[in-house]
Amino acid sequence: MRTYRSTLGPRPHAVAQVEPDPKRAARLDKLIQRFVHRPTALHGRAPGAVDLMGLLGAVHDMYGCLTRPMVEHLAHVCELYTGQVYATASFYPDIYLDPKGRHLVKVCTGTACHVKGADRLARRCARALGVEPGGTDADGEFTFLTTACVGACSLAPVLMVGTDIHGNPDPATLPDLFARHRESDATAAG
Ligand code: FES
């Protein structure tokens, strides 16, 4: 993993610029400090070094995406160029630069899945969700994407909902499957 070196150490910053909720702002602030202040003795890194990939991954996990204001904020805090942070974030297809729905629905379009009918599965999913690939439904519940091979070729064609993998799902069960995920969200919130 590449480590970038900031020249002057972390700068004072206003985390509230990107996170108005004080509790979440404190969490974000703490998270950032974890990746900017690496003790030299423990990690063999100079003070002020930034584990940029670690930081981007952790912030992405927290928010589900890295918006432009967040990229600018992280660049500011780490004393890196915004373009440097953006280039790193945008290199990885699993780092999203715009907000997504609460559940990610992905149809694999790798070779094995393509041969086994990924296109047909994608059309059925689009119909069940009411969303075309790349889109998010109106209530922000589901984002529907296609993806490269997810490493479960023997189950082709593969559908992922969040981290769950469904091999060759029966198209008739898709509406129920998505409804269950929607309900699990509601249960967690309630
Ligand atoms: S091609 Fe779809 S899981 Fe490998």
pLDDT of residue 50: 82
DSSP label at residue 65? S
CA of 8 to the centre of ligand 1 (A): 45
138 and 87 assigned to the same domain: no
Determine if residue 130 is left, alpha or beta; phi over 0 gives left, psi from -120 to 50 gives alpha, anything else beta. Answer: left
The answer to whether residues 79 and 116 belong to one domain is no
- Same domain membership, residue 52 and residue 124: no
What residue owns the CA closest to ligand 1's atom 1? 110
Domain tally, the chain: 2
Non-local (6+) Cβ contacts of 63 within 8 A are 70
| Residue 97: inside a domain | no
Ligand 1 close to Cβ of residue 160 (< 6 A) = no
Residue whose CB lies within 8 A of the most ligand 1 atoms, among 106, 154, 158, for a mutation test: 158
Last residue of a domain, one of 71, 91, 111: 91
pTM: 0.74
Q: Which domain holds residue 170?
A: 103-189
Same domain, 79 and 117: no
Please tell me the distance between residue 101's alpha carbon and the centre of ligand 1 in angstroms. Answer: 23
With a 6 Å cutoff on the Cβ, whether 112 touches ligand 1 is yes
Which atom of ligand 1 lies nearest, measured to the CA of 150? 3
Q: Which of 43, 63, 91 is the last residue of a domain?
A: 91
What is the structure's pLDDT at 84? 93
Output the pLDDT for position 47: 54
CA angle 6, 8, 9 (to 5 degrees): 70
pLDDT at 131: 93
- 10-residue mean pLDDT series, the chain (190 residues): 52 75 91 74 59 93 93 90 94 91 95 97 96 92 95 97 95 94 66
Please check whether residue 98 lies inside any domain of the structure: no
Q: Are residues 29 and 60 in the same domain?
A: yes
pLDDT of residue 74: 93
| Closest C-alpha to 106, from 130, 127, 125, 93 | 125
Which CATH number covers residue 131?
3.40.30.10
